[in-house]
Chain A
């Protein structure tokens, strides 16, 4: 059973430190939720785990399958089994969903075997059709240009379709801002639930600002992030508590501490 271990992670953007020593372990098969007020570094964590070049890791390590993920290129991380469902997926004009997915699948096959000729087209079509049926997606979606002119909901569907076809062991769902778009949330939640109930064995790290998403995805663990660190961890009840009380009590509890110590 693989697990993603984040140890003492410090990350800066343009010289400003955002993550200040974050520790977290996500096991395959478990759902972790990270919550927290805006601006505490939740998206930074997601992008850093995937290797976005704008984020500089100054300290710490991320271990997955015995490798320090931080030393790998984003494509290597992906092929190792890490997936990031983007909050704002990027449009790739002129590249169809099907062509893109086939390229991604073939990149994996070639990494395993440089002689590989790529997935046979009929096999690919069959697989794609099955996944799209499972996710209740219109078949003509595969022929559209990736994320180009997609509605918010369509973008979410495309992300989940990728999650279904690439079958990662760790999925990071960056839903930081999408708490207000209930339809988009349901697409993500229903997709993840469908995949997990079909036996896709993943560890999931859901990043959200709003408790509402967790009405649809039931987390095994809930973590609260504040100022670049995880300050509270608990089970699903912690999320309900946050829904009821807001983040104020967390702030009061942890932001006053340094003064109390002084």
Chain B
């Protein structure tokens, strides 16, 4: 019998190769008026100049995208949705109240928009990006490129230059929007680059609740990508509740850069729910820019199979008396992996600030892994900042206890996991969103 020679391959960090590049060209940039055109040109220049991030960059150290088939992706043509599966009905149901004040559905190559006339009469703008480009260039100029810098990375540059669709939400001074606004980004199809740009400006003293959900069918053996920018401005004394959910299919590579700026006395309650995608790298930043600004970030994630979700959060205290409170909780199954990397930054002079961040993970399978990396950078001396990070396993004793009361193993595990997420549920003022998260848990644990 012949024995094959034993070959030992020792692998260190993969060499940095930027061989592949997206096929997108300057001709793919959609035309726009003055400020929009110059914004997209600068994004295009950044896109050309920046290379794809690799694991030698600190922010990407734990998220390797060398398998991203960049040269495969193309933008959807106008009307492409006609030949693709329509948006799932359940995604259109109101999540946070009985009724929407408005709903936008973004699909490849198109969008539908509904807005309550009463809100439109009060000057509320809630429309898709292409319509806003035509009808509200001046409002758009106040929003685009105002919080997310396209230079931040390859994907922010991509989204800035090539946004295919998006949402523009403007709430005028003093207007209180009672009924929640809802948008769905529906991304069916394969080999498509879904590129979205969400823009929100809640003007002085105004208030709004907005739910945005990105989703797609689950397609085996295929790939698509999403690159998105979310820019939010909560002006002086304004308040916003923003619920952001993603349940992308397992074939979707998902990248986003999001930043919210909260001005003096403003308040942002920001809720994240993530269960989908093959891989996600999400940068979410909160800038507390004016005195007394407050922001709360609550994150729910649950991964399984081979999923990889990476959430990078930043709480920037840029003014005195600002308060931030972040809690991200995640559960993991299969061979999935999660990364949470958080930073509280307190600028010089931002005295009397109160910053909190915590990330808790529950690892349900031997093969799953959660990385949790908190961070503080404090340049003021009279502040209160605390943080905590934990990665735990499902323990034997609680399960035995529950089983000893007649609860079968699978249900006992589900109960412990629901209990684990309870602190997140407690922070969510919307029953529909809590129920959605419970459905996510049930789905992942079945």
Contacts and interface: CB of A to CB of B under 8 A. Distances in A.
Interface string A88-109: 0111111100011001100110
Given A86-B401, A90-B401, A92-B401, A145 B419 contact: yes
A199 interface: no
Interface in B413-441: 415-416, 418-423
**Which label, helix, strand, loop or mixed, suits the secondary structure of the B interface?**
helix
Contact of B407 (A51, A75, A77): A75
B418 A94 contact: yes
Contact of B406 (A52, A94, A104): A104
A166 interface: yes
A204 B402 CA distance: 21
Interface residues of B, number: 23
Contacts of B74: none
Contacts of B2: none
B367 interface: no
B403 A100 contact: no
B112 interface: no
Contact of B408 (A53, A89, A93, A107): A107
Report, as a range, how many residues of chain A touch the other chain: 20 to 34
Nearest to B425: A94
Interface stretch (B257-265, B306-314, B392-400): B392-400
A90 B415 contact: no
Interface in A113-163: 145, 162
B6 interface: no
B405 A166 contact: yes
B409 interface: yes
A62 B412 CA distance: 25
A95 B403 contact: no
A239 B132 CA distance: 86
Given A93-B422, A145-B419, A107 B401 contact: no
A52 B400 contact: yes
A107 B398 contact: no
A73 interface: yes
Interface in A70-84: 73-75, 77-79, 83-84
Given A75-B403, A75-B408, 9 more contacts: A50-B400, A75-B406, A75-B407, A75-B409, A78-B406, A90-B398, A92-B398, A95-B416, A145-B422
28 contacts: A51-B403, A75-B403, A75-B405, A75-B408, A77-B404, A78-B403, A78-B404, A78-B405, A78-B406, A83-B404, A84-B404, A86-B401, A90-B397, A90-B401, A92-B398, A92-B401, A92-B416, A92-B419, A94-B419, A94-B422, A94-B423, A95-B416, A95-B418, A100-B405, A100-B415, A104-B402, A145-B422, A166-B405
Interface of B: 396-398, 400-409, 411-412, 415-416, 418-423
Interface of A: 50-53, 73-75, 77-79, 83-84, 86, 89-95, 99-100, 103-104, 107-108, 111, 145, 162, 166
